[in-house]
Amino acid sequence: MSSNFFAQQDLARRNTRILVVLFTLAVLLLLLLTNIIALVSLGFIDPSFLSSSLAWQTLPWHLVGWVSIAVLAAVTIAVLFKWQQLRAGGKVVAESLGGIRLLPDSQDPLQRRLLNVVEEMALAANTPVPPVYLLPEQSINAFAAGYSPADAVIGVTQGCLEQLNRDELQGVVAHEFSHILNGDMRMNIRLIAILNGILFLGHIGYYMLRGSGRAGAIRASSRSSGNSKNNGGGIVLLALGLVVIGYLGSFFGNLIKAAVSRQREFLADASAVQFTRNPRGIAGALKAIGSHSSSSKIKNQNADENSHLFFGEAISRWAAIFATHPPLATRIKRLEPHWNGKFPTARSAQTAVDATAGTNEAKPTNAERLQQALPLLLLHSSRQTEPATALVCCLLLQQDHDIRQKQLQLIKELGSASLLQQTDQLCDSVANLDALQQVQLLQRLIPALKTLSESKFRQFEQLLQALMQAAATPDIGSWLAREFVEHSVAVQFDPAQISRKYSGKTLPQLKPAVSALLALVSQVAGDDAKQQQAWLAAVAALPFTADNTRPDFSFTNLSAQLPHLLALAPQQKQQLWLAIEAGVRADKLLVTQEQALLLALALLLEMPYQPEPSAA
């Protein structure tokens, strides 16, 4: 792979720390300005007092302390409030922008094309297929939002569907998947919450001004009654000062967004080409933005706070220094160095749709070839809720006749007769898939499974648990299927899991978890001698000394250890991944089952990994 996504994820993590530092400096400056304005407007000091050599000695420090506490409390409350709103993940962002979730089995031609492209790019990036939201905007734009690949959503404007051909749409979607793999989404969501705190003081000033206007009549009545002792002017001055501070907050906020966002856009453009192998696709989309009357501008009232999420510049900026994205021409030049600098003539929606015909037909991507290889029955079933649950059940069925009959009875008792019927209809087709195709079928099921209500999903969880228990010794494929559903679907009902943090632990500190995982990796190697060979190769790649004796393997133990491994920082995950690959490749061969294991483990541990073209 030409792009090291582990390194980019670590860079995004460091950028988050820089973001916190910039936020702290901005808050300290706003704190100073707020104290000055409060002391002057409320009459505690005279403006000329600040230039006095004795100013710092005679300041009312007790009042400064209270003002500082009030400002910090207001900023903290604003950040925590926005953070709480965003805990539900990417879908909250999409809905705040007016996004409408597309049904996975939509038959609308333009929507179907978009959903197919998202499936293809998810397979190319090796992530769960995310839910897709359609924004009612005529401009050409898109975004990815969420904390992790399991929580991610893709949002696309109506203008994207109508104005772009398939290659261009694929380039835009690939760009958004690059943000998912580069770790930008988590940083972007935190940026929304942090900037809300900076802007909150301005909101307070605005509401104080509105309140002072309503109180005007009361003050006038007091003066007519002979009571002229009021500090209404001071309150208005304080409110105006806070509004000015709000604009300063907006100034700093936009600078922070621009500083953090721009270089990540160049990286996402380059990574998109890596996924699609077609620089003309994303370059064509950028040219279409340049020639389209609505450009990439978003009209939704929440566009400003989310502007750094989008594919193109979402709002108009009065100065280039505040732009969250590099200029269109600069981005195009990096993709097409010989571009003449002229944007094409704007085309009609129908022209773009007609241009789709035949696109990608001559040179299908690996992901498209895999999609074409799946039976249509399984493709259609993966996009509907109940058939999708039946497909998961099929993946958990064991070959042993007695065990299978027991499992089928459980499906009827804990599920329904309809679910049993669909499982029976689909199980033969699923059994004919190789291990690699089964993993990729699982990826496709996620959008349909995420349409389940929490109560329905919990009932489905109980069924999956019962099916696993019915198998005395479940195979690796069954375990991976159940864990992947838990990881990718159950997370949406648990905000704590959606916004989980990196643990800060190292591989040596998680030796039991690492050993449990590498024991699984060695299981697929073959006979005992090959399993031992795989184990020794894997532990030799670890940054610490491990036992040469392969431990007993337990699915239960590994399930308990997975959350610890998932919370590893990117650099630690990269070291773990090198050990996994060393174990799988110990015999110098990479068979389909081993390739499927790599794909599944990368999905479970949210590690960037792409299958080799030869395996497709």
- Residues with Cβ within 8 Å of 549's Cβ and at least 6 positions away in sequence, in order, are none
- Encode 352-405 in three state secondary structure: HHHHHCCCCCCCCCHHHHHHHHCCHHHHHHCCCHHHHHHHHHHHHCCCCHHHHH
**Of the candidates 528, 489, 608, which has an alpha carbon nearest to the alpha carbon of residue 8?**
608
DSSP secondary structure letter of residue 310: B
Distance CA 76, CA 197 (A): 7
**Of the candidates 385, 379, 380, which has an alpha carbon nearest to the alpha carbon of residue 451?**
385
545, with CB counted inside 10 A (0-12, 13-18, 19+), is: exposed
Which residue out of 176, 305, 313, 581 is catalytically annotated?
176
82 three-class SS: helix
Distance CA 481, CA 498 (A): 20
DSSP secondary structure letter of residue 571: H
What is the separation of C-alpha 456 from the centre of its chain, rounded to a whole number of angstroms?
Answer: 25
Neighbours of 294 (CB within 10 A): 16
Is 413 an annotated catalytic residue? no
The DSSP code sequence of 588-603 is: S---HHHHHHHHHHHH
Neighbours of 511 (CB within 10 A): 15
- Residues with Cβ within 8 Å of 390's Cβ and at least 6 positions away in sequence, in order, are 381, 419, 422, 423, 425, 426
Give residue for tokens 């070291």: 575
Distance CA 285, CA 295 (A): 11
For the annotated catalytic residues, the residue numbers are: 176
